[in-house]
Structure 1
Amino acid sequence: MKSIGFLSFGHWANHPSYETRTAGDTLLQSIDLAVAAEQIGLDGAYFRVHHFARQLASPFPLLAAVGAKTNKIEIGTGVIDMRYENPMYMVEDAGAADLISNGRLQLGISRGSPEQVIEGWRYFGYEPAEGETDADMGRQKALAFLDKLSGVGFAQPNPQPMFPNPPGLLRLEPHSPGLRNRIWWGAASNATAVWAAENGMHLQSSTLKFDENGKPFHIQQAEQIRLYKEAWKKAGRQHEPRVSVSRSIFALVNDMDRAYFGQQGKASDSFGYIEANQRAVFGRSYAAEPDKLIKELATDEAIQEADTLLLTIPNTLGVDYNIHVLSSILEHVAPALGWR
């Protein structure tokens, strides 16, 4: 059995073929999509976060709105770039969104990937300390965020406050119990996957990772997941770890599917560079008739290792078509692979 969710980049553009031509279209349709996904039995609604782009950015208003409109679907991100964040304010935002959803937030964070502008986090008022990299800064902010999510008081109260204080040091409010155990780390390398386990975060692994041995993508990703699970066990964590992988999977069941995605399936991975001197392996896309799709996916080792599968969706094609895409996987593919 697997938890199956969707992952939306939240694109929009004033293009005649797009159903999402404005930011408002994308935000409102994201809410509608999450509501409809819950109705067909999907387990998760996850959203990407990118700055300086015509894509979803600040996630918490959207997460809170989805939480208010739904009842049981998990709501998450994949991922929030911590280089851009104020950990203190983020604790408050995340706590509020989690309480609105009654404890359904599954928050994916990371040190971030290359963005639309050069060192965009500087425009947000942040820069690494002397001798540190932006990746160091992102990880340190993540640890600060995790620490304050615990709900332990740390701030000295004012002896003459506007409102009466409880005894002792004060914590950030609103506090949502249990949220600390529902934070995920987006890891592109084996080392950061191990680091995530050591710090008690679940693991998100996307459709690319750093190429560490030249093997096919799904094998490298499966190796990363096994290292993560070993590190989690070694750390002696009390709650169970979760692992998600993202995939582009399209079951071709009608002419519209074939028109959109009939040429999208890739028979192999690709290799390239996402940062200077950092070679990466990019996982293949899957697009085929259901019977062929089932055979291909059965050999994906990383999907087998993961408990959660996030299906990347073409959000620009609108809510109805995306629900068709997701329903096709649930109906024609998931049962045959034992996911349902």
Structure 2
Amino acid sequence: MKKIGFLSFGHWTPSGQSQTRSAADTLLQSIDLAVAAEELGADGAYFRVHHFARQLASPFPLLAAVGARTKRIEIGTAVIDMRYENPFYMVEDAGSADLIAGGRLQLGISRGSPEQVIDGWRYFGYQPAEGKSDADMGRQHAEVFLNLLRGEGFAQPNPRPMFPNPPGLLRLEPHSEGLRERIWWGASSDATAVWAARLGMNLQSSTLKNDETGEAFHIQQAKQIRAYRAAWKEAGHAREPRVSVSRSIFALMNDEDRMYFGRGGDGEDQIGFIDERTRAIFGRSYAAEPEVLIEQLKQDEAIAEADTLLLTVPNQLGVAYNAHVIETILTEVAPALGWR
């Protein structure tokens, strides 16, 4: 059994061929798609976070709005770039959104990826400490965030406050109990997956990772997941961890599906560079008739290792079409694979 959700990058463009021509279109349709996905029986609505781009950015207003419109579905991110974040303010935003949603937030965070502008986090007022990299800074912000989510008091109260204080040191409010255990780390390398396990974060692994062995993407990703689980066990955490992978998967059911995706998707992994130093491998996409798709997906070792699958959706094609994409996977593909 697997949890199955969708992942939207939230693109918009002022083009007559796009159903999302403005930021308002993208935000409002994201809410509507989450409602539709819940009605179809999907388990999660996840959103990517990019700055300086015509995509979804600040996630918490959207997460809160989805939380207010839905009852059951998990609501998450994949991922928030921690290089840009003030961990203290983020704890307040996350706590508020989680309380509105009734404890359904699943927040994916990470050190981030190459962005639209050079060193965009500098415009947000952040820079790495001397001798540290921006990746170090992102992980340091993440560790502060995790510690604050524990809800322990740390701030000395004013002896003459505007309102009465509870006794002892003060914590950030509102505090949402249990959110600390629903934080995920987006790991592109085996080492950061192991680091996330030691800190007690769940693991998000996408269709991109560092090419560390030269093997097929799904094999490298499966090995990353197994290394993460081993590190989790060694760390002695009390609960079981969760692991998600994301995939572009399209079942060709009608002429519209074949028009958009009938060329079969990217049937092979791709190799590229995400910065000047890091060689990366990009996982293939899947697009075929359901019976073919089922046989292809049986061979994906990383999907087999994960408990959660996020379907990347082409949000610019509109809510109705993306609901169709999700529904066909839930009804025509997942049962045959034992996911449902």
TM range (shorter): over 0.9
Q: CA offset at residue 264 of structure 1? A: 4.3
Distance 1:19 1:165 in 2: 50
Q: Does residue 1:304 correspond to 2:267, yes or no?
A: no
Residue in 2 that maps onto 1:101: 101
Q: Report the aligned-residue RMSD.
A: 0.5
Secondary structure of the 2:24 match is: helix
The range that moved more, 240-249 or 269-278, is 269-278
Q: How many residue pairs end up in the alignment?
A: 340
Letter of the 2:127 counterpart: E
Percent same amino acid at aligned positions? 75
Letter of the 2:246 counterpart: S
Q: Does residue 1:271 correspond to 2:271, yes or no?
A: yes
Distance 1:274 1:140, change over 3 A: same
Deviations along 1:251-286, one digit per CA (max 9) or x if unpaired, are: 000000000001142221111101112100000000
Residue in 2 that maps onto 1:174: 174
Secondary structure of the 1:256 match is: helix
Residue in 1 that maps onto 2:114: 114
Residue in 2 that maps onto 1:9: 9
Distance 1:267 1:35 in 2: 32
Q: Does residue 1:318 correspond to 2:318, yes or no?
A: yes
Residue in 1 that maps onto 2:58: 58
TM-score by length of 1: 1.00
Distance 1:267 1:323 in 2: 24
Distance 2:37 2:285 in 1: 22
Letter of the 1:190 counterpart: D
Letter of the 1:117 counterpart: V
Secondary structure of the 1:78 match is: strand
Q: CA offset at residue 196 of structure 1? A: 0.3
Q: CA offset at residue 17 of structure 1? A: 1.1
Distance 2:130 2:267 in 1: 45
Secondary structure of the 1:4 match is: strand
Alignment of 1:123-272 (within 5 A): 123-272=123-272
Deviations along 1:166-214, one digit per CA (max 9) or x if unpaired, are: 0000000000000000000000000000000000000000001000010
Distance 1:15 1:216 in 2: 37
Deviations along 1:281-333, one digit per CA (max 9) or x if unpaired, are: 00000000000000000000000000000000000000000000000101110
Q: CA offset at residue 233 of structure 1? A: 0.4
Q: CA offset at residue 51 of structure 1? A: 0.1
Q: Which runs of 5+ in 1 are unaligned?
A: none
Distance 1:284 1:267 in 2: 6
